[in-house]
Amino acid sequence: MTTARIPLLHRYANPAAFGRLSARVMPWSIGATVILLALGVYFALFNSPPDYQQGESVRIMYVHVPAAIMSELVYGAMALAAAAGIIWKHALADLFVKAAAPLGAIFTLICLVAGSLWGKPMWGAWWVWDARLTSELVLFFLYLGYIALVDAFDDPQRGLRAGAILVLVGVVDLPIIKFSVNWWNTLHQPASLMTLSGPKIYGSMLVPLMLMIAGFMAFFITVVILRLESELLARRIRGWRTAAGDE
């Protein structure tokens, strides 16, 4: 496939074009983040009932589940961007991967910590080597491995390329996380939000959960744009320094 057939992919490869897009998106993403998270927290704490089995500890779900979803979505987005960077030499793809990785690591860490807090009253243990938990921990190490690898080279471009390859290799962990509860006998409960028959959660719990998921997504969009703009600025400064050194 030639670049002429994918104009949408390259439309915002130019930093100036991306800057114009981000300037339009940022006010909306910031507003959405604040409104969605505020509504989500309110409904989660004051307008949703305790679970008949889990009691008040079910409210951990409103942080754990969005963080778990975002940990996978961010890595999936990184894998797509890494592929675009390798195949089509997209100018901003590798920088997006670098900008998104710390955010994905934070979401994964929140997922693991919240899951441990949730697991203690439910399973009687902070941690078990459950298939879902273990594969999520592997995802956390993949994020950390990328962050360490991308800065391990003197040439930033070589680091970005090596990191992109690691991301693509690690994408195999995503289906393992998703389907681990179906492939193996695990303590982790099966899917109740995204199923073929629809959500299996009461509406009073589903509404705040969806608000929190949307709020986490808006937060990611906001922060990844800020980080990507920072990476572009750092690249521009390195270019200026290199040019000054050549003179």
Please write the tens of the pLDDT for every residue from 21-80: 899 999 999 999 999 999 999 999 998 888 766 778 889 999 999 999 999 999 999 999
Residue 246 has pLDDT above 60, yes or no: no
Taking a C-beta distance cutoff of 8 angstroms, is the pair 147, 102 a contact? yes
Residue 43's nearest CA partner among 19, 64, 26, 59 is 59
Give the Cα separation of 162 and 216 in Å (integer): 29
Evaluate the CA torsion angle 159, 237, 77, 5 in order and state its sign: negative
Residue 224 has pLDDT above 90, yes or no: yes
Tell me the average pLDDT across 171-188. 78
Taking a C-beta distance cutoff of 8 angstroms, is the pair 123, 71 a contact? no
Q: Map out the domains of the chain as residue ranges.
A: 27-241
Give the Cα separation of 185 and 162 in Å (integer): 36
Please write the tens of the pLDDT for every residue from 108-146: 999 999 988 887 777 777 778 888 889 999 999 999 999
DSSP SS3 for 155: coil
pLDDT of amino acid 199:
62
Taking a C-beta distance cutoff of 8 angstroms, is the pair 75, 139 a contact? yes
Q: In the CATH scheme, what is the code of domain 27-241?
A: 1.20.120
Q: Based on C-alpha coordinates, what's the Rg of the chain? A: 20
Give the Cα separation of 29 and 25 in Å (integer): 6
Residue 167's nearest CA partner among 84, 93, 75 is 75
Q: Measured in whole angstroms, how far is the alpha carbon of residue 155 from the centre of its chain?
A: 26
Give the Cα separation of 98 and 239 in Å (integer): 18
